[in-house]
Structure formats: structure tokens, C-alpha cells
Chain A
Amino acid sequence: MLEFVIIASLKVIAVIVVLLTACAYSTLLERKVMAFMQHRIGPLYAGPYGLLQPIADAIKLIFKEDVMPNRAERFAYTLAPMIAFVPSLMVFAVVPFSSNFTLLGYPIPGVISDLNIGVLWVFAVGSLGVYGTILAGWSAGSKYSLLGGLRASAQTISYELAYGLSIVGVVIIGNTLSMTELVNQQERIIDWYIWKQPLGFILYMICAVAETNRAPFDLPEAESELVGGFLTEYSSMRYATFFVGEYAHMIAVGAVGSTLFFGGWQGPWLPPMVWMAIKVFAFIFLFIWLRATLPRFRYDQLMDFGWKVLFPLAVLNTMITGLVVLW
């Protein structure tokens, strides 16, 4: 019992440390990759090739003044960034990072917590982040924030449905909700669920981009409209929390997507954790590539697309999968 607690705690610490570093450096990755895609260089001066830029950003944000508007609801204003940030971290409790291995004689499972309803956990917990957005928009006590928050939350919940439905196909085929079990079923590349559920993957990808408020669905944080949306009144570390939360959400969605559709840590020859890292990195690169290429959706186009296109397609995907499996 004690060794279980210790091993789990160590894994949690390791995951959080790696994840937060990855979030910080994915800001740099995004700036550099987007810059090269726009034929320019990104950050260059902070450290060699700009590698110390996230640290410089963190130090700058720490030194900024923490503003709280007079009309803001203190408790909700403080709570909102945390609600936006923590669920993305909690998703990682069920993501399998590696096969089970033994270290120093102790058998260590490759997940922090091998729930047999892992997929349900991911979507139930991971979707709590939208409350942070709503709360942030309302609690700041400003018109721009409220409008931005409402738009953001409307967008998020309308893409939630298609997001949840897009993986139901995988669950039907795999006949299990457990993340580790789904990974074990995708042993060879030919077994990966992307081949059996291409529409599901496309839907998952689009909905993931919309969920995390990334371009082309990034109207909530569109810097040129709505003054910054629900983030307007936030500064310093609260802002940093939102931003790290956004990147953590991106990484979480990438990790879940690679587990469900690309076989998680499975892969020939390289150690499993390296494969996991490669796949998650590919997802993040895809997010950045999308942001660099596509213009932003107008808000009504966005809602139209979510309800009239993605949701029916997700239902269709589920129906077809069910029919095929039954026969």
C-alpha cells in the first residue's frame, strides 16, 4: 500500500514537472514555428536561438502588477484561472505514457491511475475547464469580458458534443473505456484506430482545436477583436495561469488523441515514452500549423459549423460504426 502511494506520487510529480516545462516551451515552439512558417525568425535574443525566452516571459509576468477591477467578484475572479487550468492537468491522470516496466525491482504501471473508465474521466474532467472561461468572463465585471466569456463558453459547449461523440466510435470498436486497454489493442501500426475511424479522427481534431480556443476557432482570445475577450482584466500571474492552461489543454488533447487513434506509446524499436512524446509533439505541431495557415472563423460561421456540420457528422459516425460492428 505504502509503495503504491509513493510510486503514484512520484509519477504525479514527474508528470506535472514535465508537463509544465512542456507548456512553457511550447509557447516558444509556437512562436518559432509560426515565425518560420511566416518566413521570419521568431524570438532570437533571449539565450541561444531564443531558448530562454519562456523563462524571460515568466520573470516578466511575475513582476507585473496584479490588477483586480473594483467591480470584480473577488472570489470568482481568483478562482477562474485555477478552474481553467487544473482540469487540463487532471486529464493526465489516465493517459498511459509507457508500457509497464520495473524500476529498482518495483513494478511500475505506465499510467498514474489505470481507471477502467479512463475515457469517461478524460471527457468529464477535461470539460470542466469551460467553467473557468465563463467565470472569468463574468467575474471581471466588465462588458468586454462578459461578452467574450459568453461567446467563448457558447463556442466551447457547442463543440463539446461533437468532441465527445467523435470518440464513441473508438470505444464501440475497442469495447472498453479503459485507456490502457485501448492502447494495448493497438499493437501494430495496422491496428491503429485511425484507419478504422478516419472520420472520427477528423472530427476529434477539429473539435479539439475548437475546444482549446485555438485558431481558426480562436475568437474568444482574438486579440484584435473584443480587446482580449474574457482575458481583458487579467494581468500577471492570473493571465499566465490562463495561458499555461491553454497550452496544457492543447497537450492534453494531443495526448488523448494519440492514445485513442495512434496507438499511444506503441511503436517499434524506440522506448515507449519517446514514441508518446513524438506523437504528442506531432499534435502540437499540427495545432501550430493550423494557426499559421488558416484565418479565423466569424462567430456565426463557427456556431453554424459546430451545430450543423460537426454534430450531425459525429452522430452519423457513431451510427455507422454501430451498424458495422453489429454486423
Chain B
Amino acid sequence: MKEILKTIADTFLKLPQGFAVTLRLLFKRPVTLDYPRKRETMAPRYKGKHYLERYDDGSERCVCCGLCAAACPADAIYMEPEENERGERFARIYEINLLRCIFCGFCEEACPEEAIFLGREYEFATDSRDSFIYTKEQMLVPYPRKENAFKRIIRRVRKVYGVVQSRR
């Protein structure tokens, strides 16, 4: 008998708390992001699609050393080296198969020239498998860069102080 009364009293005390939770949530802002219409920028260290950097004068940083291909756990990188007119080594063919890639970032860590980075782009779905083999031309950053004056100033300041070149 006592348990029944205790259960009833308990119900009347606890049940409104449950209802209060749902009612409170009714007036809170929903956490849903209205995805195709609104997008969020990813974190600075987000590992998205790769891009190949250049020096300030426009020459490519990549010297086709093969360290990124060696570091890649999914064996997604393929390259063939060549010598250019100035006698520097560069990559004639540099391809990353984004279907094999696991976006771990090992290639970025392995690169001695700070040439390859993982950027913030994640929307590159298409409907043909072949288009997922990204070539060097598709991944090189454009030269001259399209960037605003503020970013240019920051990059200059960072270069002066020897800080790692910021990601795009």
C-alpha cells in the first residue's frame, strides 16, 4: 500500500519535470542547420580536398620527392618527376585519387616543402568515378591568388616573422 502511494506521489512530482523539459525545448532555437540554403564554415584544421601551394613568385613548391605518396596509407597519390628549364625538379604528373584518399592528412605532415595542404572544401560529389582522380592542374592554387588586401598583409607579416604560411 505504501509503495503504491509512494509511486503515485513520485509520479506527480517527476512527471511534470519531464513535461517541463519538452516545453522548454519548444522555445529554444533548434540546432538544425538548413543545409543547402545555409552552410557553416569548417574549422581551420578541417581536412577537406587537397590543394598544392606555390611560392610568392608563382613557382610550384612541390618537388615531386614522393614522400607524400610514401606516407599515404591508402596509396592514393601518383607522381612522375621532371626537370624544368631552371634545372629544378618538379612533378610532371601529380594525381590524387580522392576515392582512395581517407583524408588523414599524412601527406600534409610528410611534405618537406609545405606544398600540399588539406583545405576546407567537402562538396565535390559527382557522378563519374573517373572525375575523382584530381590532377596537378586541378589542385594547384591559382596564380596570382584571388585574395583580399587584408589576407595579403597577414601573409606578408607571417613571412617576415617566419610563421608557417597560412592555409587557404
* Interfacial residues, chain A to chain B (CB-CB below 8 A): 33, 35-41, 44, 289, 292-294
Contacts and interface: CB of A to CB of B under 8 A. Distances in A.
Interface string B86-125: 0000000000000000000000000000000000000000
Contacts of A289: 19, 22-23
A39 B19 contact: no
B23 A40 contact: no
A293 B34 CA distance: 25
A35 B19 contact: no
Contacts of B26: 33, 36-37
A293 B31 contact: no
B25 interface: yes
B30 A37 contact: no
B18 A39 contact: no
Contacts, number: 31
Task: Output the residue of A35, A36, A38 with the most chain B CB within 10 A.
Answer: A36
Nearest to B4: A309
Given A41-B34, A44-B34, A293 B19 contact: yes
A292 B20 CA distance: 12
Contacts of A33: 26
Given A37-B23, A40-B32, 18 more contacts: A35-B30, A36-B25, A36-B26, A36-B27, A36-B30, A37-B22, A37-B26, A38-B25, A40-B31, A41-B30, A41-B32, A44-B34, A289-B19, A289-B23, A293-B18, A293-B19, A293-B21, A294-B18
A273 B25 CA distance: 30
Contacts of B27: 36
Contact of B25 (A39, A44, A294): A39
Interface in B21-62: 21-23, 25-28, 30-32, 34
> Can you list the 8 inter-chain pairs with the closest CB atoms, starting with the nearest?
A37-B22, A293-B22, A41-B32, A40-B32, A41-B30, A36-B26, A37-B26, A292-B22
B13 to A, nearest CB: 15
Task: Output the residue of B23, B25, B31 with the most chain A CB within 10 A.
Answer: B25
A35 B23 CA distance: 12
Contacts of A41: 30, 32, 34
A292 B24 CA distance: 12
A40 B27 CA distance: 11
Task: Output the residue of A33, A44, A292 with the most chain B CB within 10 A.
Answer: A292
A294 B14 CA distance: 12
Contacts of B19: 289, 293
A311 B35 CA distance: 50
A55 to B, nearest CB: 21
27 contacts: A33-B26, A35-B30, A36-B25, A36-B26, A36-B27, A36-B30, A37-B23, A37-B25, A37-B26, A38-B25, A39-B25, A39-B28, A39-B30, A40-B30, A40-B31, A41-B30, A41-B32, A41-B34, A44-B34, A289-B22, A289-B23, A292-B22, A293-B18, A293-B19, A293-B21, A293-B22, A294-B18
A258 B107 CA distance: 69
A47 to B, nearest CB: 15
Nearest to B33: A41
Contacts of B25: 36-39
A293 B23 CA distance: 9
Nearest to A290: B19
Contact of A39 (B23, B31, B34): B31
Contacts of B23: 37, 289
